[in-house]
Amino acid sequence: MTDYILALDQGTTSSRAILFDHAGRPCGSAAQEFPQHYPQPGWVEHDPDDLWTSQLAVARQVLREARVRPDQVRAIGIANQRETTVLWERATGRAVAPAIVWQDRRTADACDALRAAGHADTIRARTGLELDAYFSATKLAWLLDHVPGARERAEKGELCFGTVDSWLAYKLCGAHVTDASNAARTMLFNIHQLRWDDGLLALFGIPPSLLPAVVPSSADVGMTHADLFGAPIAVAGIAGDQQAATFGQACHQPGMVKNTYGTGCFMLMHAGGTPAVSHQRLLSTVGWRLQEASQPCYLLEGSVFMGGATVQWLRDGLGIIRTSGDVEALASSVPDSGGVLLVPAFVGLGAPHWDPYARGTIVGLTRGSTAAHIARAAVEAIAYQSAELLTAMQRDAAQPVLEVRADGGAARNDLLMQFQADLLGVPVLRPAVTETTALGAAYLAGLAVGFWADCQEIAAQWRCARRFEPAMPADRRQALLDRWARAVARAKDWEAPL
């Protein structure tokens, strides 16, 4: 009888479940999209029940279709969209408000006020993060101030806060927990002391009783309720999606870099056992902590808010493609973008700009511009934004980056991967398993229950499926990057107060 690890990958636009065997091979997969809600410009919400029901549905589906019994599943690992903020009743597990998604910009003004009051440096020093609406702290404060009765109930200990990993763990097994990789994205967690920061809780007005316990990323935190899958299964791994992908890409040594091409794009470099200090407005964050007494791994991270979501906008907003997978053919139907550049700052700009008031911009349009040119510009925009991250990362790092390991749905786009290698000037490697977020969650859970022995065994399973070598002359690359910088400058500060 074969045993498996079940990975739950709860993303921004879909929930996915994948079964992995001992060789790290996917043996079954199911995915389900769920609705996105945009109640006001700059606001992005999810129904927490949609996150849970879609994740449970695909988990049950993959077990059913793969004909795997629950006693064959050694453990469940959770990877999740980070920073998205959920508030629920402790007694009932019922959400008391829509989840505020990481892309949401409603608290940009609150961040401006905190910055004006001189708190940005303290927040950066303690959390490794930029003071920005991206992170959970101001989202949670907003919920406490705007949901009727929420602050009073929170003070009484009646409510729970969590990022999506906490929400899923609570629903799966009743544990109110998170791991350090997710806690580090809240702007409430001291990454040096590895605990919730009392000073930051006071600054944001967050009652400590709301907070989950912080557990190792690889640890048995509880058994699922028996009625969910027919028998209890251990929940044994938790990590934010980008940290999980870094672990799944076997970037276990300092200096190794991966870039995930998902809803957003997230480039992370292994920075070793101490927090990295960025001078390029990148983030220093916790990667994973395998055991309670072990030294955590720290990462240097750059975040792009609109990666694959730009392609979804072509599909849902403009209607120029029928499915996201159609974009490569349309973009490849023209030799280049015809001078068109698309800056997808629909929800502001992330690293290294951190401009919540930037907005989406298309420049270079002529009468000859077509849907194909816009599609190509959208694909290229994903690569341009990621190139900015690597440039910043190399300026911060003490050693040059030799290669970038790519994953995520858009990493299957050959046009994008080749253009990315051309812009980066280093090889881009696409692994045999591109669903490395789920794989990383599986590895963390499997380590906790002895399914895999150690990180060396995991690293030995990594395989490259295709290597994209840079082929663009250096002067051409620099000219394109300079032109991109001019386009970004035109997108900045668009919604800034007059």
pTM across the whole model: 0.88
Query: 404-407 and 428-431: which strand pairing?
Result: parallel
Distance CA 472, CA 415 (A): 14
Q: Is 13 annotated as a binding residue?
A: yes
- CA 248 to chain centroid, in Å, comes to 14
Q: Is 16 annotated as a binding residue?
A: yes
∠ CA 79-84-86, nearest 5°, is: 100
Q: Which of 302, 354, 378 is nearest to 132 (CA)?
A: 354
Q: Are 301 and 257 in contact (CB under 8 A)?
A: no
Report, as an integer, the average pLDDT of 300-308: 91
Q: Which pLDDT belongs to residue 24?
A: 94
Torsion of CA 119, 124, 130, 131, to 10 degrees: -20
Confidence of residue 497 (pLDDT cuts 50, 70, 90): low
Q: Is 350 annotated as a binding residue?
A: no
Distance between first and last Cα of the chain? 67
Report, as an integer, the average pLDDT of 361-374: 96
Q: Which pLDDT belongs to residue 262?
A: 85
pLDDT at 324 over 90: no
> Does residue 216 lie within any of the structural domains?
yes
Q: Is 126 annotated as a binding residue?
A: no
Q: Is 83 annotated as a binding residue?
A: yes
Q: Is 413 annotated as a binding residue?
A: yes
Q: Is 280 annotated as a binding residue?
A: no
pLDDT at 439 over 60: yes
Q: Is 82 annotated as a binding residue?
A: yes
pLDDT at 82 over 90: yes
Confidence of residue 363 (pLDDT cuts 50, 70, 90): very high
What percent of the chain stands above pLDDT 70?
99
> Does residue 142 lie within any of the structural domains?
yes
> Does residue 333 lie within any of the structural domains?
no
Q: Which pLDDT belongs to residue 293?
A: 63
> Does residue 206 lie within any of the structural domains?
yes
The CATH number assigned to the domain holding 147 equals: 3.30.420.40
CB neighbour list of residue 138: distance below 8 Å, 6 or more residues apart: 107, 110, 111, 114, 187, 204
Q: Which pLDDT belongs to residue 91?
A: 95
pLDDT at 240 over 60: yes
Q: Which pLDDT belongs to residue 194?
A: 94
Kindly state the tokens that stand for 105: 């910009």
> Does residue 371 lie within any of the structural domains?
no
Q: Is 134 annotated as a binding residue?
A: yes
| Mean pLDDT, the chain, integer | 94
pLDDT at 498 over 60: no
> Does residue 145 lie within any of the structural domains?
yes
**Residue 42 domain boundaries:** 4-241
Confidence of residue 220 (pLDDT cuts 50, 70, 90): very high
Q: Which pLDDT belongs to residue 408?
A: 86
Distances (CA, A) of 31 to 8, 17, 101, 287, 373: 10, 6, 20, 26, 31
Kindly state the tokens that stand for 407: 């994953």
Number of domains in the chain: 1
> Does residue 123 lie within any of the structural domains?
yes
Q: Is 328 annotated as a binding residue?
A: no
Helix extents (H) in 357-473: 371-396, 414-424, 436-448, 455-459
Q: Which pLDDT belongs to residue 496?
A: 65
Confidence of residue 6 (pLDDT cuts 50, 70, 90): very high
| pLDDT tens digits, one per residue of 93-108 | 999 999 999 989 899 9
- Backbone phi and psi for residue 279, each to the nearest 5 degrees, phi listed first: -105, 5
Distance CA 438, CA 77 (A): 8
> Does residue 352 lie within any of the structural domains?
no
Q: Is 165 annotated as a binding residue?
A: no
- Three-state DSSP at 240 gives strand
Report, as an integer, the average pLDDT of 19-38: 95
